[in-house]
Each structure stands twice: as structure tokens, then as C-alpha cells.
Amino acid sequence: MMLKEYRICMPLTVEEYKVGQLYMIAKHSDEQSSNGEGVEVVKNEPCQHEVHGAGQFTEKRIYISNRLPGWIQTMLSKICSFFYVTEKAWNYYPHTFTGERCSFVPKFSIEIETKYENNSGTTDNCLGYSEEDLLQREVLPLDIAFDEISEKHYKESEDPTKFKSAKTDRGPLTAGWRENTKPIMCSYKGTKVRFDVWGLRSRVEDFVHRSIQEILILGHRQAFTWIDEWIDLTIEDVRDFEQKQQEKTNKKVSAGLEGTDSVGTESAQEISAGDGIDPAMLSTGATDVEKVES
């Protein structure tokens, strides 16, 4: 198991990001979806936890056939037309738990626990890791302004070093911004990747972490540079926007799936909304829990 704690700062407050996070995820999912590819929302409903209180549970299928390495696509093409993983998330903002699992590759899983705080990433053990986990943890600060993203994801309008908010007067971000910007918040994301296959473990886990880093940087850049689109929304407004985007995204994905066979996590029912699984297990190293976020 490879454990990395990503710390991603943004020039926002935790209170503001409660709306910004939902807006960004809904819009980003729509942008990344097309016929037969992208994110299909299966469930989006309130949930309750005895410790964390009221929250929101979501279950999504992420269709990734054309985004896999060529050798995996070749192998899967012999048994199915489309391939997906299942993402399940419990959002008890500002504390969230997400897990991804794939029944087709049962020894692979991703678990992310996130906490948001109004600081610049200075809390040493924000996620309350055990001494054993702390020995394995690697802390990686990610810079939304100056860490590189792939050319295919780059848009000048989403570049924090060039963006200036008309409504909040924030930006552009300059060198050293995390030390001298107010307001500032940090997403602490403890990410555990497991691939228990001898000979491939380190290579696959390292590849997955690099992919996650790209997603996290992109998502948090978008959350900030889209601020003028969401800063005036209420939580009711953004939930309505989320519902409309999900319907739109589901139509995009399903249009490309009709009449095809897919392999995913349909048989992995041990972690469903009604199973009574404590999402806090995601922070204890449980190996049978399932999903990942921005």
C-alpha cells in the first residue's frame, strides 16, 4: 500500500468551498463525459452518520475504456466493449470519505479521506493517522498555480497565474502566494492506493498516484478560476445545478452504451448505501472498502 497525503491550497475559505466543490465536480464531470465515456451518477441522496452527522452519499460509475493504457484496452476488448469502476463517496463536509474499487481487478483499490481547514497546509496530522500510517505517509504539497498539468488539460482561462476574479478581486496568483494570500484554505487528502500483485505493485501504485495528482491539480484550479460562476450561489442553487448536470451527463454516457457489454463493479455489492458500512473505516486501512475525489 502506498500512502500519500496531498495538501492543496486555494485562495478561498472552507465555507465558500462547500458550494464551490459541488459546482466544480458537477461541471467537471460534464466536461469529461461523452458518448460512452465519463461519469454516470447512480445515486445521490442524503445520509446520516452517528459521528459525522448529516451528509450526502453518491455512487458513480466512471467509464474509462478509452483512457486506459493500450495493453489493457487490448485485453479488455476480448471480453467487453466498455469498462468502468465504481466510486462511492460520503460527504460530511468539511470531512469526506471516498473509495474506488473494481471487481474485475479485485486486488486494486483507492481510498481517499479529505479534511478542509482554513490554513495554508500547516496542520501536521490533520487526518489523525496512527503511528504506523505516519511512518508510511509521504506529504506532497500541490501548487495549483505553478505545478504543471498536461497540455491537453491546459486552458488559459483556467490558469491561476493569469486569472483575476471580477466578483472577488482575487488573483492572479504569484510566486509565494500560499504564504501571503488571504483568504486561504487547504484540502488535506490522505490517499491510499493498493495493488497487491507481485511484480507490478510499485509500478501500478506509482502510476495511479501520478494520475491522481493531475486530477487534483486540475480540479482545484477549476474550482478557483470558476469562482465567478458559483460564488453567489446558495447550497440550494448548487444542488439544483448539480441535479441538472447529472441528468445531462448521464444522457451523454448512456447514449454510447446502448447495446454494448460492460465490465465493472456491478457484482461488488458489499459496499452499498444500505449496508451500514462505517465510512470512517476508510481511514483505518480497511481493505474491503471502496472511492476518489478532487
Is the pLDDT confidence value at 76 over 80? Answer: no
Looking at residue 268, its pLDDT comes to: 30
Which conformational region is residue 101 in: left (phi greater than 0), alpha (psi within -120 to 50 degrees), or beta? Answer: beta
Is the pLDDT confidence value at 284 over 50? Answer: no
d(CA 11, CA 20): 12
Is the pLDDT confidence value at 276 over 50? Answer: no
Q: Are 99 and 91 in contact (CB under 8 A)?
A: no
**Residue 157 corresponds to which cell in the numbers above?**
482561462
Is the pLDDT confidence value at 202 over 60? Answer: yes
Looking at residue 203, its pLDDT comes to: 78
Looking at residue 85, its pLDDT comes to: 81
The one-letter amino acid at 86: T
Tell me the mean pLDDT in the region 202-230: 92
Looking at residue 148, its pLDDT comes to: 93
Pairing mode, strands 185-195 and 108-117: antiparallel
* Average pLDDT of the chain, as a whole number: 83
User: Is it true that domain 2-283 has CATH number 3.30.530.20?
Assistant: yes
d(CA 62, CA 75): 19
Tell me the mean pLDDT in the region 72-85: 57
Looking at residue 270, its pLDDT comes to: 29
Looking at residue 272, its pLDDT comes to: 29
